[in-house]
Amino acid sequence: MKQILHIAYRELNSFFDSLTAYVLIIIFLGFSGFFTWIYGADVFFLGQASLDTFFTVAYWSLFIFIPALTMRSIAGELKAGTLELLLTKPVSDWQLILGKFLSTFFLIGIALTPTLFYYFTLWAIGPVDHSAIVLGYLGLLLMSMVYISIGLLTSCLFSNPIVASLTALSIGIFFHIIFDVLAANFVGFTGSVFSFLSLSTHFESITRGVVDTKDLIYFFSISFFCLYSSKMILSNRNLQV
Amino acid sequence: MDIVVEHLTKRYGPQKAVDNVSFRVKAGEVLGFLGPNGAGKTTTMKAISCYINPDEGDVKVGGYSIKEHPEIIKKNIGYLPENNPLYQDMNIIDFLEFIAKIHGIPKYLIAERILDMVRICGLEGEKHKLISELSKGYQQRVGLAQALIHDPEILILDEPTTGLDPNQIVEIRELIKRIGKEKTVILSSHILAEVEATCDRILIINNGRIVVDGTAEELRKQAAGNEILKLGIQGGDVNDIFENLLNLETIDSVDFIDIDKQLFEVQSLKEETSVKAIFDLCVQNNYYISELTPTEKKLEDIFRQLTLH
């Protein structure tokens, strides 16, 4: 467990050292703040004390940012040769994967923390549905978990970070919209399968305030599958230099 | 801790990088691993340090197999990979601290160990620099420091002196020698002089197979062959001396090295020595010997002989 945290901490530091973290946080806060408070369907336009707009903006921006954060996690270490350095230390393949996963997850957490001010502001100006907001954040974290795992897997598969990032994004698009569109076009069993596969279905059901075990199983199983596959690829050292 | 390599085989596609290699390194020994580029040195070292899985065979370190207990082995090995990969965006102290934590060194000891490493590896003046700002020689020292920080019993160094200037090479060699007194060291190189200077035992590997296993002395003896003498004789006509030398029974061939200085290269027949015969010849003809040096075959020649096929 300690090893995982050491790796995650180092990785998180390197996000900050390389300015990646600052750029991510500034753009994310800029975007979400702009759309939540100033433009379009903002809080004052709607006249409701709800953060739905923020969650929609975050839902899309995280989807685009995460592949850019994960693309170098394994591929970069492999290219620099530091993967060899790490894996010849007392670190198991699982610990390495989980450490990498956690570092990005923490970074997303750090980017989301300042947005709690939106929540407090809203609380000050109107009656807020607290559980909807807590679950909205939970939904964002669960969604990030899935996309980070997908990003890690593609980073294991492709040594070129750009390829890894674009592949993660294309896989993500299926979960993000395409399954949803397909679900709308099919009826019966096929339709319900696509609807189950669509991430937005589960995300919406959580942000609506309903936490179903089905949704949790969905998020955790996709993440586990991707992390496990990454671990297997790493263990076989089937990595392309 | 002993290292036992048993029938190790590793393929990359159809090519066998290491082919049925077996050897044993005793605790406290300094082993030099020699071979031309692409001979399989790095692959073998990667297998010992649990980075790659061999296709066949096994490696046991202190009785533990790399397949079953890699975590125990990794704790006891300090490994300096080829090309010395480091996190370029970290500074030396942070980097060493990270490695120390990964090794599970207790918190109260970490600062002390880092300072020790900085002192031993001569990094004092640079310790707050980013690794990317360091010269190659200093980066190599950081590589050594990270391999040594947990005080491992076994040290595996893959070409530790490549890219260093002559002074740095000497320093690193001294360092390895000092460390080698207490630890088991496996060191790879394609420079013979380096291995001869630092190692107790030499292992030459070529095309994935072990060609020679022994000390530098044994290696010389094995490839020595016939006696070769560098001989200078004065006090007579060069051609007469040449003729007379050729007529000696124990001599196989005579070559001129320098006619003006009357220097010859004399090769004796197998398992014969011609020193006494030459001396008698000089006495009979009133010549005198100006030089008589046995020529040793250089290790470089032996190395070429063994690996060029």
Which residue in chain B has the smallest CA separation from A81? B85
pLDDT of A238 > 70? The answer is no
pLDDT at res. B193: 77
| Contacts with A84 from chain B: Cβ below 8 Å | 46, 51, 81, 85
pLDDT at res. A226: 95
Say which range, A188-197, B3-12, B170-179, has the weakest mean pLDDT.
Answer: B170-179
For A63-76, the pLDDT digits (tens) are 999 999 999 888 88
Interface residue of A14, A18, A86, A88 to substitute, partner B, most B CBs within 10 Å? A88
| Contacts with A82 from chain B: Cβ below 8 Å | 85-87
pLDDT at res. B156: 92
pLDDT at res. B222: 65
For B252-302, the pLDDT digits (tens) are 888 888 888 888 888 887 777 888 888 888 888 888 888 888 876 666 777
Q: Is A185 helix (H, G, I), strand (E, B) or coil?
A: helix
Average the pLDDT over A112-139 and give the result: 90
Average the pLDDT over A204-219 and give the result: 88
For B37-46, the pLDDT digits (tens) are 778 888 899 9
Interface residue of B102, B142, B154 to substitute, partner A, most A CBs within 10 Å? B102
pLDDT of A104 > 80? The answer is yes
HEC readout, chain B: CCEEEEEEEEEECCEEEEEEEEEEECCCCEEEEECCCCCCHHHHHHHHCCCCCCCEEEEEECCEECCCCHHHHHHHEEEECCCCCCCCCCEHHHHHHHHHHHCCCCHHHHHHHHHHHHHHCCCHHHCCCEHHHCCHHHHHHHHHHHHHCCCCCEEEEECCCCCCCHHHHHHHHHHHHHHHCCCEEEEEECCHHHHHHHCCEEEEEECCEEEEEECHHHHHHHHHCCCEEEEEEECCCHHHHHHHHHHCCCEEEEEEEECCCCEEEEEECCCCCCHHHHHHHHHHHCCEEEEEEECCCCHHHHHHHHHCC
Q: Do B103 and A87 touch (CB under 8 A)?
A: no
Q: Do B89 and A18 touch (CB under 8 A)?
A: yes
pLDDT at res. B230: 85
pLDDT at res. B298: 65
Average the pLDDT over B193-207 and give the result: 84
Above 0.85 for ipTM, yes or no? yes
pLDDT at res. B309: 61
pLDDT of A102 > 90? The answer is yes
pLDDT of A239 > 60? The answer is no
For B232-250, the pLDDT digits (tens) are 888 888 888 888 888 888 8
Q: pLDDT-derived band of residue A163, with 50, 70 and 90 as boundaries?
A: very high
Q: Do A14 and B87 touch (CB under 8 A)?
A: yes
pLDDT at res. A228: 95
* Mean pLDDT for all residues in chain B: 85
CB of A17 within 8 Å of any CB in chain B?
yes
pLDDT of A147 > 50? The answer is yes
**Interface list for B 40-69 with A (CB within 8 A):** 46, 49-53
For B56-96, the pLDDT digits (tens) are 888 998 889 888 888 889 999 999 998 889 999 899 999 99
Average the pLDDT over A81-106 and give the result: 92
| Contacts with B81 from chain A: Cβ below 8 Å | 81, 84-85, 88
Nearest to B103, CA basis, from B51, B148, B48:
B148
CB pairs under 8 A between A and B: 61
pLDDT at res. B297: 65
Nearest to A50, CA basis, from A106, A116, A132:
A132
Which residue in chain A has the smallest CA separation from B79? A88
Distance from CA of A14 to the nearest CA of B (A): 7
% of chain B surpassing 70 pLDDT: 95
Which residue in chain A has the smallest CA separation from B149? A89
pLDDT at res. A63: 92
Choose the closest CB to B101 out of A6, A84, A87.
Answer: A6
| Contacts with B50 from chain A: Cβ below 8 Å | 87-88
* Mean pLDDT for all residues in chain A: 89
pLDDT at res. A188: 87
pLDDT of A23 > 70? The answer is yes
CB of B104 within 8 Å of any CB in chain A?
yes
